[in-house]
Structure 1
Amino acid sequence: MLLMEIDGLNPEDVKKTRMGIVMGSLFSESENMWIYKGSGFGILGHSRTMLANRVSYWLNCYGPSYALLSGDTSGIEALTLASEAIRNGHCESALVGVVSFEILPEMSQHYKGLKLLAEDGNNRSFDDDASGFALSEGIVTMFLQKAKNAKRIYASIVHSQFECFGDRKSGYIVPLEYPLTTLLSSFYQRCEIDPSLISYLEADGSGIKARDTIELNAVAKVLLNNRHSPLLIGSIKSNLGHTSAASALISVVKVLIAMEAGKIPPNNNFNKPSQQVPALVEGRLKVVTETMPWSGGLAAVNSVGLSGVVGHILLRSHNKEKVNGGLPTDDLPRLLIISGRTEEGLEETFNKLESQPVDVECVGLLHDLYSSNIQNYNYRGYTILGKADMYKEIKHFDGIKRPVWFIFSGMGSQWPEMGKELLKFPIISDSLLRSHNILKEKGLDLLHIITTLDINIFNNILHSFVGITAIQVNSDY
């Protein structure tokens, strides 16, 4: 089973590993500008194949590396091909990404010429007054790997599939219904899952009324059989607009966030169900218009592209609960050391972490991520989480590696209870206990020496020497 996750991986962790890179896009609006400049960057930097190849080069990883130009379904296709590459042994993990920028006004003019843009600039997915979509932008990357290698899991990919039905009876913009019904029927037969078990469907919901009508009528024919409760549906396009090549993976991201947060966000601009979709009118398909709890289980994502390309993915939520809800089981503060490209970025990260309860799982992932150097992360900082008095410092790293010095203080640095707080740390406590047991045979009670409030304990110079030495030696971890 494959997983999508934020894994706490440092780029060094994937160096010289078999990691596939699959990137999707649609138009490259600045391509001509770079080609005509003749600087060489048009080939080495701007050729669309470099969307994937430069990532493989920079990460120094081995495996499949290619770019897809598949329109609105690029995300589903990239995700499907990457997961198949892992299952077939072509790579151990994969980075999947899509990008869509709207740089030139001419692109909007083209869409307007095709009568695809909403007259009022609002995506009214599934609404009876839908008149088209609003263009938007997006960048999404996802990391896939096998369950046995995962540190943090958002969801598992049950099955993913796409097909192109090149039927000239359909138009390029509005597909026929049978390609989607055929894909959905084949999809659930292959993965041997009863569609009635789906908790939520993130539909394509382009805002083009005829296209949404065909999509939902096809969904009703396949996914509503044997279903005894309404199927909840939504479309992120009603919130963000249409992000072209990035749209399918942005839909997946919405589902992952809903699973993680336990809440399904509402659709915008839905007032009256399309009268051309009986399942909507009858309530068998229910558009989420208010924040609703995520019930767990299975969620599906639809993607409908141009000229008969359709895709579908089924995700299973990850139900493993964090130990103690992620909260520490002790009252110890957590030292967090991280790096970043800018001082502002580190400051924002620290502020977010300090504004919420300590999550030991998150702290652990960050420790793994920043345990070794990340190229061009030239700002270093630390904070101490879980204390009323916050300590925080950020500095620019000049690249100079400085030696580590261990400085041992002399007599006179002792104080009552100087080891009391250190005993809260298990690794130090275990070490001090071993020293205590050894010294006990010599008639010395180390734990009493370093925890007592009695200020006279150090009148005995032997107690001072033993206490200071024990603290210094056993804290050297």
Structure 2
Amino acid sequence: MSETFRGQDSAIAVIGVSCRLPRAAGPAAFWTLLRDGLDAISSTPADRWGVTPFDPGNPPLGTRYGGYLDGVDQFDAGFFGISPREAAVVDPQQRLTLELSWEALEDAGVVPERIRGTRVGVFIGANKDDYATLLRRYGLEAITEHSNTGLQRGMIANRVSYTLGLTGPSITVDTAQSSSLVAIHLACESVRRGECSSAIVGGVILNLSSEAAVELSRFGALSPDGRCFTFDARANGFVRGEGGAVVVLKPLRQALVDGDHVYCIIRGSAINHDGISEGLTVPNASAQEEVIRFAHERAGVQAADIQYVELHGTGTKVGDPIEAAALGAAVGRPRRAYGPLRVGSVKTNIGHLECAAGIAGLLKVILAIHHRQIPASLNFRQESPWVRLEEQNLQVQTQTAGWPDPSRPLVAGVSSFGMGGTNCHVVVSEVADVEVVESVRLGRPMGSAPLALSLSARTAHALREQAMRLRAFVAEHPEISARDVAWTLATARSVFAHRAVVVAGELDGDSAGDLAGLLDLDVSPVVVRGVAAGVGGGAGPVFVFPGQGAQWVGMGLALWDAEPVFGEAMTRCARALAPFVDWSLREVLADPGLLDRVDVLQPVSWAVMVSLAELWRSVGVTPAVVVGHSQGEIAAACVAGGLSLADGARVVALRSRAIVA
């Protein structure tokens, strides 16, 4: 790697992903589709075009095939606080982006309520407004008070920021086909400059009207065969796809400190424009070469470091040769000593998502790094004579396989080029070669212990569906740690009114496989269900600190060793008590004789309660009210800030000594 790469100081971590793509309702399904080399293109659903001047049974040239989503009209408006009347006028692209943003945050372990009012940015690539076209067919009667906000493309990003209460930059990006990858570039730059602490970034497109398809068909962009033949001799245009994807970005240094799961890092990126070319929509090889070189410079990598590039790769007779020449000049030929550069295009699997194509390609690379395999690029049989792969030192990845050199850092590029000339290239890599900072991670209890799996939802039906999805997940992944499942449910999910707690009992080992049978909420004997009152409007939890009688020998010892936050708090309490007692806090916890003494028991209980409160706070549970009895009053005063730790230790130690005297 080049020494110019600034490591943690400039790298942006990808900590969460979500997607809704043809035949792929989420990242796991998308990876299965890619890994298995599946083709998600199908005939256009007969009911897709709705009211149209064209015959759905005999679509115009190029509109017969595509990559489509199911249920694009379905949306849980109440979940996002949107009335049914307003939701009916809100562009499904806004609705889908809301869902994907929430799911990406969940994947990142970020509870939306905890980032409300913070400087989180939202950057979404979008450039279609098919839903507005559909509604306007009904004339002036279809316009409501919600039409203005429901149909504007700029509102796609703004709707997310508003719903989640985010105060960072909120931008809908339109640079045609490169929109969503340009959104990634803009988001990374915004995070680096400190404009936002983290960012929700993606792209979305839904092909709802036949007019847009006819425009592309008459422009000559669509393949009559309904497939993308990227770099193949059969290249004759592209097939349209639809859907969306969202990623959550964060500075790498902060992600490591926070203990986030990091899929990969974005090292650097660049954007430019073709300038004058042979036509407004004709690519410029020199500009594409320049944007790739500039991205490498920003990322601090050399051509030899790149093992794979996800192409723009539309499968057009004009675009493919120009892209091959640019990539060959910037990467392929300079790395000839390391073998041919592997290339591919996700468009061969799911079609061209146009403004969302870049994020789809980026997500493919993220998953390829995460799984350490490069998926096959489909529909490649014989190279186009104008592409000249050998001359450019390029090789199409025709089967799913490991990375060319897994002993070296996995580094890849992603290209996306807009029809009007806006180009973007992003450099992505694994984290392995970046110096890892010390991260603060909570420990876990050792050995067997009861586990509580907490579920919540806005409705009883949604709660049951959550349990069914979790049950299917743990059944399919029996190797998943049961403790990790319980931890994630307790600390990284929003809490709603309808709740269920599954008590898993004593589990030996970490496997979650045994949990699957407990997650049938209707028949499981270990489920507690209920509806919480005042959720969303209440002040928050109440911490109750008891007096004597709640203690037991050995309390807190296992937690002291397993949970760093609790252990550090107990150590501070021990230091604060030291001037007033002649015993060791840690040793007395295991001494039944000493724990019977009031002048020992009360300070020990105070220390445990204060430390437990600190542990709860570390996972986001902050009390709105505290109340206590006896030494619990002193603990409550310390937790509320009424007493310092030193004053609390002095009061509890001297008070308990006075009681004995």
Match of 2:261 among 149, 152, 155: 152
Q: Are 2:299 and 1:196 equivalent residues in the alignment?
A: no
> In 2 relative to 1, CA 328–399 (structure 1 residues): closer, same or farther, beyond 3 Å?
closer
DSSP-derived class of the 2:283 partner: coil
Partners of 2:210 and 2:502 in 1: CA distance: 44
Q: Are 2:475 and 1:349 equivalent residues in the alignment?
A: no
Partners of 1:110 and 1:215 in 2: CA distance: 24
Partners of 1:227 and 1:391 in 2: CA distance: 56
Deviation at 1:396, TM superposition (A): 7.8
Deviation at 1:435, TM superposition (A): 5.3
Deviation at 1:318, TM superposition (A): 2.6
Q: Are 2:286 and 1:276 equivalent residues in the alignment?
A: no
AA of the residue aligned to 2:412: A
Partners of 1:328 and 1:199 in 2: CA distance: 41
Alpha-carbon contact 2:130-2:209 (below 8 Å) kept: yes
Mean alpha-carbon deviation: is it higher for 266-275 or for 160-169? 160-169
Partners of 2:218 and 2:304 in 1: CA distance: 40
Q: Are 2:295 and 1:187 equivalent residues in the alignment?
A: yes
Partners of 1:362 and 1:319 in 2: CA distance: 26
Q: Are 2:453 and 1:336 equivalent residues in the alignment?
A: yes
Partners of 2:128 and 2:513 in 1: CA distance: 50
Match of 1:131 among 222, 229, 236: 236
DSSP-derived class of the 2:212 partner: helix
Alpha-carbon contact 2:468-2:520 (below 8 Å) kept: no
Q: Which residue of 1 aligns with 2:12?
A: 2
Q: Are 2:533 and 1:400 equivalent residues in the alignment?
A: yes
Q: Which residue of 1 aligns with 2:6?
A: none
Q: Which residue of 2 aligns with 1:214?
A: 322
Alpha-carbon contact 2:445-2:559 (below 8 Å) kept: no
Partners of 2:489 and 2:354 in 1: CA distance: 33
DSSP-derived class of the 1:71 partner: coil
Q: Which residue of 1 aligns with 2:347?
A: 237
Deviation at 1:427, TM superposition (A): 3.1
Deviation at 1:401, TM superposition (A): 5.9
Match of 2:313 among 199, 205, 223: 205
Q: Which residue of 2 aligns with 1:445?
A: none
Q: Are 2:362 and 1:252 equivalent residues in the alignment?
A: yes
Match of 2:591 among 437, 456, 466: 437
Alpha-carbon contact 2:268-2:299 (below 8 Å) kept: yes
DSSP-derived class of the 2:130 partner: coil
Partners of 1:88 and 1:214 in 2: CA distance: 34
Deviation at 1:117, TM superposition (A): 1.4
Unaligned runs of 5+ in 1: 322-326, 407-418, 443-477
AA of the residue aligned to 2:559: I
Q: Which residue of 2 aligns with 1:427?
A: 559
> In 2 relative to 1, CA 388–362 (structure 1 residues): closer, same or farther, beyond 3 Å?
closer
Mean alpha-carbon deviation: is it higher for 44-53 or for 354-363? 354-363
Q: Which residue of 1 aligns with 2:492?
A: 369
Mean alpha-carbon deviation: is it higher for 290-299 or for 228-237? 290-299
AA of the residue aligned to 1:242: H
AA of the residue aligned to 1:128: A
Q: Which residue of 2 aligns with 1:263?
A: 373
Q: Which residue of 2 aligns with 1:471?
A: none
Q: Which residue of 2 aligns with 1:20?
A: 121
Deviation at 1:355, TM superposition (A): 2.5
Q: Which residue of 1 aligns with 2:394?
A: 285
Cα deviation digits, residues 148-188 of structure 1 (max 9, x gap) = 3321111111111111223153341x312111112223332
Q: Which residue of 2 aligns with 1:143?
A: 248
Q: Which residue of 1 aligns with 2:416?
A: 303
Deviation at 1:378, TM superposition (A): 4.5
Q: Are 2:197 and 1:92 equivalent residues in the alignment?
A: yes
Unaligned runs of 5+ in 2: 1-10, 17-107, 437-443, 505-510, 522-527, 536-540, 545-552, 563-584, 597-661
Mean alpha-carbon deviation: is it higher for 25-34 or for 306-315? 25-34
> In 2 relative to 1, CA 433–227 (structure 1 residues): closer, same or farther, beyond 3 Å?
farther
> In 2 relative to 1, CA 155–181 (structure 1 residues): closer, same or farther, beyond 3 Å?
same
TM-score (normalizing by structure 1): 0.79
Alpha-carbon contact 1:72-1:247 (below 8 Å) kept: yes
AA of the residue aligned to 2:318: A
Deviation at 1:217, TM superposition (A): 1.1
Cα deviation digits, residues 317-340 of structure 1 (max 9, x gap) = 13399xxxxx99856565332334
Partners of 2:501 and 2:353 in 1: CA distance: 36
> In 2 relative to 1, CA 92–429 (structure 1 residues): closer, same or farther, beyond 3 Å?
closer
> In 2 relative to 1, CA 118–265 (structure 1 residues): closer, same or farther, beyond 3 Å?
same
Partners of 1:179 and 1:387 in 2: CA distance: 53
Q: Are 2:515 and 1:391 equivalent residues in the alignment?
A: no
Partners of 1:101 and 1:67 in 2: CA distance: 15
Superposition pairs of residues 58-97 of structure 1, within 5 angstroms: 58-97=163-202
> In 2 relative to 1, CA 364–282 (structure 1 residues): closer, same or farther, beyond 3 Å?
farther
Deviation at 1:405, TM superposition (A): 13
Count of residue pairs the alignment pairs up = 423
Alpha-carbon contact 2:413-2:425 (below 8 Å) kept: yes
> In 2 relative to 1, CA 382–288 (structure 1 residues): closer, same or farther, beyond 3 Å?
farther
Partners of 1:48 and 1:366 in 2: CA distance: 34
AA of the residue aligned to 1:373: V
DSSP-derived class of the 2:420 partner: helix
Cα deviation digits, residues 188-222 of structure 1 (max 9, x gap) = 23433211110111111111132011101110011
Alpha-carbon contact 1:333-1:386 (below 8 Å) kept: no
Partners of 1:234 and 1:132 in 2: CA distance: 16
Partners of 1:158 and 1:192 in 2: CA distance: 8
> In 2 relative to 1, CA 218–39 (structure 1 residues): closer, same or farther, beyond 3 Å?
same
Partners of 2:486 and 2:309 in 1: CA distance: 33
Match of 1:358 among 466, 471, 480: 480
Deviation at 1:9, TM superposition (A): 0.4
Partners of 1:364 and 1:187 in 2: CA distance: 39
Q: Which residue of 2 aligns with 1:324?
A: none
The CA RMSD over aligned residues, in Å, is 3.5
Partners of 2:277 and 2:561 in 1: CA distance: 75
Deviation at 1:227, TM superposition (A): 3.2
Deviation at 1:314, TM superposition (A): 0.2
AA of the residue aligned to 1:47: Q
Deviation at 1:400, TM superposition (A): 2.2
Partners of 1:271 and 1:33 in 2: CA distance: 40
Alpha-carbon contact 2:13-2:263 (below 8 Å) kept: yes
Deviation at 1:50, TM superposition (A): 1.3
Q: Which residue of 2 aligns with 1:227?
A: 336
Partners of 2:208 and 2:448 in 1: CA distance: 51
Alpha-carbon contact 1:265-1:290 (below 8 Å) kept: yes
> In 2 relative to 1, CA 378–48 (structure 1 residues): closer, same or farther, beyond 3 Å?
farther
